[in-house]
């Protein structure tokens, strides 16, 4: 099978490598010529524009987008417009908002598959977990590529109609936020608590048979090993947040309570306050107001 891949960053290069390793042909394009050169070194046919990529693909075109979610997906689809027909298949493997994917599926001339991708750059060796939404025939047609990019045939599944793949991935990320928060709180208590603990050892022993063992916990172990038990100079500012925000918004729309995911998202936003949390500073001053408690002041 021949696959065009647009977007050759951390994730797109893995799609390219794994597809090539499985014996398929890849045509690759990115706005960054260096990324295209890396894909070409791996064995892909380089393209210098979206038009060029399309010209190099055969009659039934299969195209995987791995560009940042949002405007870049719309811009790429605009460039593809006029080059696609109903026998072609476009896969969006990024973290797009599911309602954008429904809209894009309706307006795209090709069959459109929204594909939630989990596993991160670690998926280079293991393969990814892929959650796919869209027409069944298109999913079946792309299955050889999904087999290659995923951990194998069990690493991908069609979730349902357009939007469902990105919907499931959105919720996956909400769960990811909450799990990170839970591990964070536990390790914070161990760090601040009664014993002088080596947190790498704690994570390691938990990863060997404990109820809460997981890949995220293995990543905690790696973090303590590489940064030290107090996490060295790692800042307390957490970036990202879009997929967690969408999950919480959807919980509100469906009237499904998501207190853990909401709290994890709130912690993330709170971590970005430049000057300390305003609400904490006000609470500090209010305790003086009602109780004449001392007000700790900033240096
Ligand atoms: N990094 C991760 O752990 C994961 C990322 N994702 C999603 O996968 C998508 C890609 O993520 P990464 O590879 O991490 O991002 P990245 O920033 O490493 O790579 C994005 C690539 O797309 C290229 N690009 C941007 N606009 C383009 C355009 N209009 N045409 C062609 N190329 C364009 C950039 O030059 C860059 O090489 C995002 O939607 C992200 O949310 C999904 C799962 C995990
Ligand atoms: O999808 C992912 C992992 O599953 C990406 O790493 C994503 O960027 C994580 O979300 P955020 O950037 O909001 O932390």
**What ipTM was estimated for this complex?**
0.99
Indicate which residue's Cα is closest to atom 5 of ligand 2. Answer: 120
Where do you find CATH 1.10.1040.10 in the chain? 169-275
Indicate which residue's Cα is closest to atom 15 of ligand 1. Answer: 9
Q: How sure is the predictor about 238, in pLDDT bands with cuts at 50, 70 and 90? A: very high
Indicate which residue's Cα is closest to atom 12 of ligand 2. Answer: 240
Q: What is the pLDDT of residues 249-269, one digit of tens each?
A: 999 999 999 999 999 999 999
135 Cβ inside 6 Å of ligand 2: no
pLDDT at 122 over 90: no
Mean pLDDT taken over the chain: 97
Q: How sure is the predictor about 275, in pLDDT bands with cuts at 50, 70 and 90? A: confident
CA neighbours within 13 Å on the CB side: how many for 160? 8
pLDDT for res 130? 98
95 Cβ inside 6 Å of ligand 2: yes
Phi, psi of 256 (to 5 degrees): -110, 120
Where do you find CATH 3.40.50.720 in the chain? 2-160
pLDDT at 172 over 90: yes
pLDDT for res 25? 98
* CATH of segment(s) 2-160: 3.40.50.720
Q: Which of 68, 115, 127 to mutate to test the pocket of ligand 1 (most atoms within 8 A of CB)?
A: 68
* CATH of segment(s) 169-275: 1.10.1040.10
Work out the percent of the chain whose per-residue pLDDT is above 90: 96
CA of 149 to the centre of ligand 2 (A): 18
Binding region: 7-12, 67-69, 95, 118-120, 172-173, 177, 268
């Amino acid at each position: 099978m021949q696959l065009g891949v647009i977007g050759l960053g951390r994730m797109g290069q893995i799609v390219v490598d794994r597809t090539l390793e499985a014996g398929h042909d890849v045509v690759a394009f990115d706005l960054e010529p260096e990324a295209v050169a890396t894909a070409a070194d791996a064995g892909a046919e380089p393209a210098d524009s979206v038009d060029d990529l399309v010209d190099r693909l055969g009659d039934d075109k299969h195209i995987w987008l791995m560009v940042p979610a949002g405007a870049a997906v719309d811009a790429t689809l605009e460039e593809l417009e006029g080059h696609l027909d109903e026998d072609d298949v476009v896969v969006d493997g990024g973290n797009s908002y599911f309602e954008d994917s429904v809209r894009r599926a309706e307006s795209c001339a090709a069959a459109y598959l929204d594909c939630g991708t989990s596993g991160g750059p670690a998926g280079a060796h293991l393969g990814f977990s892929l959650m796919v939404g869209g027409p069944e025939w298109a999913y079946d047609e792309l299955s050889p590529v999904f087999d290659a990019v995923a951990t194998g045939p069990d690493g991908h599944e069609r979730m349902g109609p357009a939007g469902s793949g990105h919907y499931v991935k959105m919720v996956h990320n909400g769960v990811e936020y909450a799990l990170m928060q839970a591990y964070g709180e536990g390790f914070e208590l161990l760090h601040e608590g009664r014993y002088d603990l080596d947190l790498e050892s704690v994570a390691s022993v938990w990863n060997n048979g404990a109820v809460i063992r997981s890949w995220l916990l293995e990543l905690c172990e790696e973090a303590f090993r590489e940064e030290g038990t107090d996490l060295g100079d790692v800042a307390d500012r957490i970036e990202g947040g879009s997929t967690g925000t969408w999950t919480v918004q959807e919980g509100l729309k469906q009237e499904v309570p998501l207190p853990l995911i909401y709290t994890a998202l709130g912690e993330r936003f709170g971590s970005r306050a430049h000057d300390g949390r305003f609400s904490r500073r006000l609470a500090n001053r209010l305790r003086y107001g009602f109780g004449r408690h001392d007000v700790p002041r900033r240096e």
